[in-house]
A and B are shown apart, each in its own frame.
Chain A
């Protein structure tokens, strides 16, 4: 009993540490600083690139999609991305459905770029990222960002090495944001968001998707005062009342304010909470459908953990409840369970807007006007696109590698290649058209040493997936 009280129970959150060790801190073998390259030879790397920590996928917890299904999905996604404006205008339901099924890993980065509108922003602001990237940045922000670089997913092979390419890109993206929005600067919760993006796309793309998330999906979340997140906490709490009255009553009884359990969930878009397979599926839906997905995930987790009297029997008190919410049972976070529950939960944009209105009114009555006027929230890809219709030109794909494929219709795009593409695909040269372009340099390829990403390109980019997987540099 006393042991649990002292926090030795299973409830600890070990996101930044290895839990196999029993007390002796010096045994942390995967510490980037200790190991230099951060990837100990004997450590298993999971399919997402994690070598340890809470995010590492163990066993067969992630859904396995048969190869032929994956290939089909890839070709469908390629087709959608080729005529994105039409799909979004006329068959948006289908796009949403496909996001709910999960975006194929090989195209996830590009799909996120399109869904978020980051692609359009990038095209409309050509050269902007480079311009921001070339500036030194405000020392005030640079200092804080630098202190956080080694603390984002330190068990991911991309971010393990101090000063490695992952951390460098993370710095570039976050610093560029502080220059893009000097009045907002940097908020520590933006770093995991940017890191997840960088696992899927180059720095410039990650920057624009981050901009879209901060401005369109979650406006005000990272701004001074953090009013938007507090308001969303109240909205979540109000919605819970309908979704799970039992859980709502319990939280009320123990005075567990939403800000205590949902701040990290929402500000980091669950990237520090869920197993990785689920993080990706949640992000697929989030970037398509907007913030309601975050609300639904939060509601599903609360309902699953606190939704029946039986579950609450052992959890009498503020601390016990916090412990429970910090150590959510794996079956509730498991990919297929969670995604299914999120899809069927009936919480719409309208519900959220209605509740937003009500909570805003309450806020104004008790605390006065909001200090930080954020732009209105956009509920997903469709709303973003409708608000600012892109030109065809803006949606034109500019991949770094182009592979001829019988599945994709021929386009008159400029075909460019890069060093990485050339390196990877030598053996299949006759099947592809690769035109090297001197001005595009793959930012992920260090001049001398091979990119660790290549290890992962190989297994998934097998010959049968030429048409799709190799379209993208980032798997």
Chain B
């Protein structure tokens, strides 16, 4: 039996090594938190359904990537087929924040001719005492790049759902408005198995800032 979903979105999760990419994804897809997580070697792959509105389900394919620069030659192949991305930094690690623009550049140069809707994620927000990046400056940076910003904690399950669901909603709006189109040979958005009626009478949610890299 096929699960009914409206669309399938492919998301990519990027950011420096040890910012907590795998832990965030595991919390979201498996509902658990691992104190220790193997460094990701290469690319890993997860999936979950989210219900963005009653009866409207989106299947998310989430690609986890190794953070070490060395692996970029492998991970960069996965930008092209992604419609959305979570760009993580660790709020207790200033350097990971400084590298955000490098990651964006990296994504931009490998996603053409498509675009990725990015969400900036300040991770490990449970570690307030060790914070090195303020919420204000992160929001400012996100604003400059036209992204939303959210602070999350995989350990305490703070905003994990919100981060993925908000991003999914934003992409959904763009798809519905025709700003993002389903294309042959592009895996970013795929249409699901669903009766047409679900498409009708949608409320347009508040406009949000988007990044079109």
Q: Give the B-binding residues of A (Cβ under 8 A).
A: 1-2, 5-8, 12, 14-17, 21-23, 25, 28, 31-34, 144, 147-148, 150-152, 154, 187-189, 191-192, 222, 224-227, 229-230, 257, 259-260, 263-264, 267-268, 272, 318-319, 322
Contacts and interface: CB of A to CB of B under 8 A. Distances in A.
B74 A230 contact: yes
Interface stretch (B29-37, B107-115, B130-138): B29-37
Contacts of A15: 38
20 contacts: A2-B49, A5-B49, A6-B48, A7-B29, A17-B36, A23-B31, A25-B33, A25-B34, A25-B155, A28-B35, A32-B36, A147-B17, A148-B39, A152-B38, A225-B73, A226-B74, A259-B42, A264-B41, A268-B41, A318-B61
Contact of A267 (B41, B47, B61): B41
B73 A226 contact: yes
Nearest to A28: B35
Contacts, number: 110
B197 interface: no
B97 to A, nearest CB: 15
Contact of B31 (A8, A33, A272): A8
Given A1-B1, A5-B3, A188 B32 contact: no
Interface residues of B, number: 33
Contact of B41 (A1, A154, A189, A230): A189
Interface string B15-58: 00110000000000111111111110111011111000000000
Nearest to B39: A188
Contacts of B193: none
A7 B61 CA distance: 11
Given A148-B39, A264-B42, A16 B34 contact: yes
A318 B190 CA distance: 13
A254 to B, nearest CB: 11
Given A225-B73, A264-B41, A264-B42, A8 B30 contact: yes
B59 interface: yes
A14 B35 CA distance: 12
Nearest to B27: A25
A461 B68 CA distance: 42
A187 B155 CA distance: 27
A229 B41 CA distance: 12
